[in-house]
């Protein structure tokens, strides 16, 4: 049994809440569920003490409504200044460029994400093709013979691509690679890719005026997350809590 000041959170409520907190073990799920209910009750009690209307609705929308009003009234959120925005822009120039372009070819050795045997076989074949290409075999010929992608009809060519046109796990590897044949196959949800980057065109820097709003929103969101976490921690310290120990929680609030 958990008590937040004089309010009891029954085990049945924790068991019901667990469905919204998937975890590696039942204990972890219970801890996350209990933590969520404890914090929710702490915030509810704080809102009531400030005479804010607290919805009796158990829906998430109803809870979010009073929590947002509580944060608006009780948490000080400084806005990012012009100097802070410009400093962030100057220190992170690579974040503010147009998307680079890649001209590449690939050979897809298809494998379903949940088929471990097929994925091992596809990776092995992909590695073999990399060795063949290093030995001088023709990329287009191997693409037509082995690739499961429609691009095999054009020798594996994908033409020019920019970020956002392919799956993230593929882009993370090819957009940071150098021109030429990648030394190892690239894994994606579709299988393994043998990749040859024919040309890489770097992105162009964007002017500050074009990204100012994005930077300001990002910095304000960071401040809000930190201030909210500190606010909740201060409320926890002022709460008489029985049956739950935040020190055993892996919540970001406690890091």
- Report the CATH number at residue 110: 3.10.50.40
Q: Is 74 found in the same domain as 15?
A: yes
Percent of the chain whose pLDDT exceeds 90: 82
Encode pLDDT of 229-251 as tens digits.
Answer: 999 999 999 999 999 988 765 55
Angle formed by the axes of helices 208-237 and 26-49, nearest 10°: 90
CA distance 231 to 247: 17
Residue 91 lies in a domain: no
Give a yes or no: residue 31 inside a domain.
Answer: yes
Which residue range forms the structural domain that includes residue 21? 2-79+210-254
In a shared domain, residues 158 and 236: no
The answer to the question of residue 93 being in a domain is no
Number of domains in the chain: 2
* Cβ atoms of 104 and 115 closer than 8 Å: no
Claim to verify: residue 110 and residue 195 sit in the same structural domain: yes
Confidence of residue 1 (pLDDT cuts 50, 70, 90): confident
Give the DSSP per-residue string, 125-143: HHHHHHHHHHTT--HHHHH
106 and 173 in one domain? yes
What pTM was estimated for this model as a whole? 0.61
Judge if 166 and 188 occupy the same domain: yes
Q: pLDDT at position 247, please? A: 76
pLDDT bin (cut points 50, 70, 90) of residue 254 is very low
- The pLDDT confidence band at residue 212, using thresholds 50, 70 and 90, is very high
Q: Which of 141, 109, 114 is nearest to 128 (CA)?
A: 109
Partners of 107 in beta bridges? 194
């Amino acid at each position: 049994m958990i008590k937040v000041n004089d309010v009891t959170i029954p085990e049945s409520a924790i068991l019901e809440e667990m469905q919204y907190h998937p975890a590696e073990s039942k204990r972890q799920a219970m801890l996350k569920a209990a933590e969520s209910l404890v914090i929710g009750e702490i915030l509810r009690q704080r809102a009531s003490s400030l005479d804010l209307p607290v919805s009796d609705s158990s829906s998430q929308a109803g809870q979010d409504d009073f929590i947002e009003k509580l944060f608006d009234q009780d948490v000080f959120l400084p806005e990012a200044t012009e100097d802070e925005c410009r400093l962030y822009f100057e220190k992170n120039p690579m974040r503010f460029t147009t998307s680079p372009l890649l001209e590449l070819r690939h050979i897809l050795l298809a494998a379903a994400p949940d088929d471990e045997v097929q994925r091992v076989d596809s990776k092995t074949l992909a590695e073999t093709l990399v060795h063949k290409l290093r030995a001088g075999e023709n990329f287009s010929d191997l693409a037509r013979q082995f690739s499961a992608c429609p691009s095999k009809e054009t020798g594996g060519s994908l033409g020019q691509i920019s970020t956002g046109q392919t799956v993230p796990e593929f882009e993370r590897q090819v957009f940071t690679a150098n021109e030429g044949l990648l030394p190892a196959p690239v894994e994606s949800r579709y299988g393994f890719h043998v990749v040859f980057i024919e040309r890489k065109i770097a992105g162009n820097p964007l002017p500050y005026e074009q990204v100012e709003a994005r930077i300001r929103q990002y910095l304000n969101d960071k401040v809000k997350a930190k201030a909210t976490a500190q606010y909740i921690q201060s409320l926890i310290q002022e709460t008489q809590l029985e049956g739950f120990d935040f020190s055993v929680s892996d919540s970001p609030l406690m890091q």
